[in-house]
């Protein structure tokens, strides 16, 4: 039997107990790492003197590491329990980040980010699955709360990287902050990890069943969403440097316009979802993201470009939390496996999309290559229309964040 405290399964408001806040904090750490990493790519490329194609290998290897981790996470949770997997994943992620920021050239940074991505998959999948199971009917609401907090961390992270790059501290201070936060969270968690899930729970949950086919359509949509998000966060600084003549530090800090927009989008989405079908929200958010991209791509005046990136961030802000909840809703109760499949699908998208954009930019030019972003959004829109996933009758979608 699980040692998790009993949570009212019919409640639509998340129970913000100690375990939930620790999960929120670790999700925020992961978001800080991901979005700070995007801001460091251009700065690291300047240091190493590499092309965009070579630099994009960092993002691809991080995603490949996440893919491998995602394939192993459900089995690891089944064998050792979510609590132990969370602890090992957090410490290993910190080690990978430290390695990425070490001197030693391209091989060291590539290995470091690969290992951080591998370990981070165990962390992310375990947190998502824990929140969805621990909170019961309020799981999607809790997931949305955690992503809202993570969006704030993702807003602050690039700013710290940019400020560090413009001062004597250097850009690496933005990454080291994550290492400290992850270790502090583990100290606060303490020795008792059973509340997060013990060995064998996954086996009892799935009983040998497999994910339904409809889940894979939701994963295709999720891949398009993450292809859009990480193309922007990995290459947005380059767009600002090329189109607006921003310096390296200013461009890195200005990526906060995307992550800040995502924070607003998740708050906005949580309000709308109390009244509207989530499928309709996702379609509308794609339309808003396309409008924002048009502003960012079509102009060179920096206020308009920043406004466009912010608007795009607002549009894509609901994509990950609603996309994951959509996949889980299609899974027939296979929460851990659906969360792991979402991580694997996302890792593939993150590995391929930014690399393709970077490689294509070396051939046809960066501005033209950036048109891959609206292509991803349009493909997602078509799948949403052709393969809808209706909300479950009476199911909670999202609630006001941090009420």
Closest CA to 339 of 197, 128, 191, 179: 128
Predicted confidence at residue 392, as pLDDT, reads 59
Predicted confidence at residue 207, as pLDDT, reads 52
Q: What is the pLDDT of residues 127-161, one digit of tens each?
A: 877 787 776 666 667 777 787 788 788 888 888 88
Residue 295: HSE in the Cβ half-sphere, 13 Å Cα cutoff:
18
Low-confidence ranges of the chain (pLDDT < 70): 1-12, 135-140, 193-209, 270, 273-274, 335-336, 391-403
**Residue that is written with structure tokens 């396309």 in the block:** 290
Structure token pair of residue 75: 């089995």
Q: Kindly list the distances between the CA atom of residue 328 and the CA atoms of 88, 136, 232, 283, in Å, as whole numbers in the listed order.
A: 25, 12, 26, 19
Residue 292 lies in a domain: yes
Residue 215, classed as helix, strand or coil, is helix
Residue 195 lies in a domain: yes
Residue 7 lies in a domain: no
Residue 126 lies in a domain: yes
Query: Residue 265 is part of which domain span?
Result: 18-386
Other residues' Cβ atoms within 10 Å of the Cβ of residue 204: 10
**How many helices and strands in the chain, by DSSP H and E?**
16, 0
Predicted confidence at residue 198, as pLDDT, reads 56
Task: Please state the pTM of the whole predicted model.
Answer: 0.75
Q: State the CATH number of the domain containing residue 322.
A: 1.20.1250.20
Other residues' Cβ atoms within 10 Å of the Cβ of residue 174: 30
Rounded CA gap, 91 and 161, in Å? 22
- For the chain, what is the largest distance between any 2 Cα atoms, rounded to a whole number of angstroms? 60
Residue 398 lies in a domain: no
Structural domains counted in the chain: 1
Rounded CA gap, 116 and 84, in Å? 17
Coarse DSSP helix, strand, coil percentages of the chain, rounded to the nearest 5 percent: 80, 0, 20
Predicted confidence at residue 2, as pLDDT, reads 41
Residue 400 lies in a domain: no
Residue 4 lies in a domain: no
Residue 12 lies in a domain: no
């Amino acid at each position: 039997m699980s040692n998790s405290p009993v949570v009212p399964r019919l409640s639509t408001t998340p129970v913000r107990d100690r375990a939930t806040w620790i999960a929120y904090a670790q999700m925020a750490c992961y978001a800080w790492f991901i979005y700070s990493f995007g801001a460091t790519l251009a700065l690291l490329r300047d240091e190493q003197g590499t092309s965009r194609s070579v630099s994009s290998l960092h993002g691809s290897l991080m995603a490949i590491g996440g893919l491998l981790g995602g394939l192993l996470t459900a089995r690891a949770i089944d064998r050792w329990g979510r609590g132990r997997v969370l602890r090992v994943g957090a410490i290993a992620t910190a080690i990978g980040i430290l390695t990425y920021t070490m001197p030693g050239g391209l091989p060291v940074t590539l290995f470091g980010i690969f290992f951080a991505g591998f370990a981070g998959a165990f962390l992310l999948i375990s947190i998502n699955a824990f929140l969805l199971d621990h909170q019961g009917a309020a799981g999607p609401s809790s997931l949305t709360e955690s992503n809202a907090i993570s969006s704030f961390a993702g807003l602050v992270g690039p700013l710290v990287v940019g400020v560090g790059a413009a001062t004597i501290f250097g850009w690496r201070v933005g990454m080291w902050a994550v290492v400290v936060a992850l270790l502090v969270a583990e100290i606060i968690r303490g020795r008792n990890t059973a509340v997060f899930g013990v060995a064998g729970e996954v086996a009892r949950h799935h009983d040998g069943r497999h994910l339904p086919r409809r889940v894979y359509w939701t994963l295709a949509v999720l891949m398009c969403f993450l292809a859009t998000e990480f193309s922007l966060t990995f290459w947005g600084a380059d767009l600002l440097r090329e189109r607006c003549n921003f310096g390296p530090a200013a461009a890195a800090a200005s990526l906060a316009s995307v992550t800040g927009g995502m924070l607003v989008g998740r708050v906005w989405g949580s309000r709308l979802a109390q009244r509207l079908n989530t499928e309709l929200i996702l379609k509308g958010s794609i339309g808003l993201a396309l409008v924002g991209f048009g502003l960012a791509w079509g102009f060179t005046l920096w206020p308009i470009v920043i406004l466009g990136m912010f608007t795009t961030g607002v549009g894509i802000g609901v994509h990950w939390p609603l996309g994951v909840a959509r996949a889980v809703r299609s899974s027939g109760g296979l929460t851990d496996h659906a969360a792991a499949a979402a991580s694997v699908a996302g890792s593939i998208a993150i590995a391929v999309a930014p690399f393709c954009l970077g490689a294509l930019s070396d051939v046809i030019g960066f501005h033209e290559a950036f048109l891959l972003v609206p292509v991803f959004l349009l493909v997602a829109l078509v799948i949403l229309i052709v393969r809808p996933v209706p909300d479950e009758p009476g199911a909670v979608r999202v609630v006001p964040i941090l009420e």
